[in-house]
Structure 1
Amino acid sequence: MNDHVTDPATDPATEAFVTHRNLLFTVAYEMLGSAADAEDVLQETWLRWVEVDLEQVRDQRAYLVRITTRQALNRLRALQRRKEAYVGPWLPEPLLTAPDVAEDVELSENLSLALMFVLETLSPIERAVFVLREVFDFGYDEIAAAIDKSPSAARQIAYRARQHVDARRPRTPVSREETRAALDSFQSALATGDLQGLLDVLAPDVVFVSDGGGFKLAALRPVVGAEKVLRYMAGSVEKAGGVFTSTPTMVNGNPGLILRVDGVIDGVLAFSVDNDLVTGLYYVRNPEKLTRVESETPLTSR
């Protein structure tokens, strides 16, 4: 007599998890800003999902997102303690993304390092609610179930988080073409050492945020103002030595640059743009955060 063996390909729990895996990863990453932590959250989600009686689950996608959100909230609270001891500003881990992420305008805007840097200023519960509502368009009943609050409480948290974020991000969305044009001007000036060209593309109140994590030289606090940013960048290039090159790429669904010194990745530079000028530069140099910039990470809002 043959023992019955469940084929993972036809196992309903496995099938549902695999179907929604990219969404679950995107939810966890958007909440945490760390791919490694998002992967850990998915592992924890899987362990809880296989214990669920699927016959009692009406909406598998919503249920999986609920588990992921709860696990991500737990991880986010622990991560906050790590961030308090972090050397200098903490930037999200940049991800190399496929063109389809950029085509989802809302998703790419919310995945930008500029916005995710703003999300760092929210409390864990505010960030969870903002992500579920603004990025993934979940209803307040679903959000309430995920965070163990009432729908009205979820609505209030969402309103508060949105106000906080809106006060800190650009007033009007910027097209990819506008961002790309500003980036092209920036890259050209950087490549030729044209300091005036760089100054011309930087907004007067541009902010430069760098993350070395204590492993690489980086400013311990944001550098503000076009001339100060220019001086800091020129000094950094000089200290780096070697041959400095930049390559256009898609970071978190948005145009960015991979910077190399003598062919070795030094860091990833992401941008925020407004009125054809660069308003924010986000430079990730921490080697621990540069493991996902040479192969694409699939992200989705659906």
Structure 2
Amino acid sequence: MEPSGAPAGADWQSHRSAVFGAAYRILGSVTEAEDVTQEVWLRAAAADLSDVRDLRAWLVTVAARTSYSVLKSARVRRESYVGPWLPEPLLTVPDAAAQVLVDDSVGTAMLVVMETLTPAERVALVLHDVFDFPFTRIAEVLGSTPAAGRKLASRARARVAAVKERPRASRAETERLLRAFKAAADAGNMAELVELLHPEAVYVADGGGRVTAARRPVHGAETIALLAVRQIEIRRPDAFQIIEVNGQPALATYRGGELVWLDTVEIADGRITTLRRLANPEKFPHIGHI
């Protein structure tokens, strides 16, 4: 629960999504972003804001500075992470607890690429390209110069450009392919699975060392199809639903009401080119069960 005090409740609620959104884009974790949001509130409540002309910019600046510190320490933990790392999924339906402006910068594919950036590059890119911050303010957050901030943002932008240039499938096509993939895997229909996958498709699984999952990306339609069928046979899920995370449809698969994995996909020419399967239960609390 957020304490009473400055900024006033109405002002805080109008800017809370920006604070959370900045933290989530920088950190790729709902849990860490919520912690940062709470920290920003506490700092604002204890501060004299009478001379602050742009409260939103002040709050986002504090969020970015706090997230930068968290990210630098988190990098050490993530370097020892077991297997591929996928971002903690953000529910983006209208009634989700954490509201945030949804755009390409919160997409799963974008957050995966942003994880390869340095903490400073990530902060500079988010503040400039998403929140339109001048490089003078970005320099204050990073403890650098405006020229250095401009170079960091430019370098980061070049790294993420490939993701922005990829064609995006419609919501209807994404849902159709997710449902078709699930049905074919349940039926053990290898031929159908191979047809749904691009020949050079890539499968990435995040088990975090908590559950059994491929510790390296798996390549090729036939290999991925076989893996999908085997996982159904081993885990024996009994329910699924399409939900929206990070602004796109995702397939949530359950067993006994417990979420066992969450699939998101990239699509090109009517086929799945990338299948990302999040299975680390530590990243599920904000998704819930059925």
What TM-score do the two structures reach when normalised by structure 1? 0.84
Question: Is residue 58 of structure 2 the alignment partner of residue 66 of structure 1?
Answer: no
What amino acid is the match of 1:195?
M
Q: 1:238 to 1:30 in 2, by over 3 A?
A: same
What is the rounded CA distance, in whole Å, between the counterparts of 2:215 and 2:42 in structure 1? 39
Q: Which residue of 2 aligns with 1:201?
A: 196
The equivalent position to 1:77 in structure 2, one of 63, 72, 78, is 72
What is the rounded CA distance, in whole Å, between the counterparts of 1:66 and 1:123 in structure 2? 18
What is the rounded CA distance, in whole Å, between the counterparts of 1:34 and 1:150 in structure 2? 28
Alignment of 1:156-171 (within 5 A): 156-167=151-162, 170-171=165-166
Q: Which residue of 1 aligns with 2:253?
A: 259
Question: Is residue 282 of structure 2 the alignment partner of residue 291 of structure 1?
Answer: no
What is the rounded CA distance, in whole Å, between the counterparts of 2:7 and 2:237 in structure 1? 53
Q: Tell me the secondary structure at the aligned position of residue 213 of structure 1.
A: coil
Q: Is the contact made by 1:91 and 1:284 (CA closer than 8 Å) also made in structure 2?
A: yes
Alignment of 1:136-151 (within 5 A): 136-151=131-146
What amino acid is the match of 1:208?
Y
Q: 1:251 to 1:13 in 2, by over 3 A?
A: same
Q: Is the contact made by 1:245 and 1:261 (CA closer than 8 Å) also made in structure 2?
A: yes
Question: Is residue 271 of structure 2 the alignment partner of residue 277 of structure 1?
Answer: yes
What amino acid is the match of 1:85?
S
Offset of residue 26 of structure 1: 1.6
What is the rounded CA distance, in whole Å, between the counterparts of 1:52 and 1:16 in structure 2? 15
What amino acid is the match of 1:268?
L
What is the rounded CA distance, in whole Å, between the counterparts of 2:7 and 2:240 in structure 1? 46
Alignment of 1:1-302 (within 5 A): 8=4, 11-99=6-94, 107-167=102-162, 170-240=165-235, 242-294=236-288
Higher RCO (Cα < 8 Å, 6 or more apart): 1
Q: Which residue of 2 aligns with 1:299?
A: none
Offset of residue 170 of structure 1: 4.9
Offset of residue 99 of structure 1: 4.9
What is the rounded CA distance, in whole Å, between the counterparts of 1:56 and 1:64 in structure 2? 14
Q: Structure 1: where are the runs of 5+ without partners?
A: 1-6, 296-302
Q: Tell me the secondary structure at the aligned position of residue 102 of structure 2.
A: helix
Q: Tell me the secondary structure at the aligned position of residue 202 of structure 2.
A: strand
Q: 1:13 to 1:153 in 2, by over 3 A?
A: farther
Offset of residue 22 of structure 1: 1.9
After superposition, give the CA deviation of every residue in 1:103-148 in whole Å (9 maximum; x if it has no partner): xxx9342212222111110000111122223333434344334333
Q: Tell me the secondary structure at the aligned position of residue 64 of structure 2.
A: helix
**Identical-pair percentage:** 39
Q: Structure 2: where are the runs of 5+ without partners?
A: none
What amino acid is the match of 2:250?
G
Q: Is the contact made by 2:175 and 2:242 (CA closer than 8 Å) also made in structure 1?
A: no
Q: Tell me the secondary structure at the aligned position of residue 208 of structure 2.
A: coil
Q: Which residue of 2 aligns with 1:3?
A: none
Q: Is the contact made by 2:7 and 2:45 (CA closer than 8 Å) also made in structure 1?
A: no
What is the rounded CA distance, in whole Å, between the counterparts of 2:253 and 2:89 in structure 1? 13
Alignment size in residue pairs:
284
After superposition, give the CA deviation of every residue in 1:260-298 in whole Å (9 maximum; x if it has no partner): 124321111111122222111111111110011139xxx
Offset of residue 243 of structure 1: 4.2
* RMSD of aligned Cα (Å): 2.5
Offset of residue 161 of structure 1: 0.4
Q: Tell me the secondary structure at the aligned position of residue 54 of structure 1.
A: coil
Moved more, 191-200 or 272-281: 191-200
Q: Is the contact made by 1:170 and 1:274 (CA closer than 8 Å) also made in structure 2?
A: no
Moved more, 16-25 or 162-171: 162-171
After superposition, give the CA deviation of every residue in 1:4-35 in whole Å (9 maximum; x if it has no partner): xxx948x5455433321122112111111111
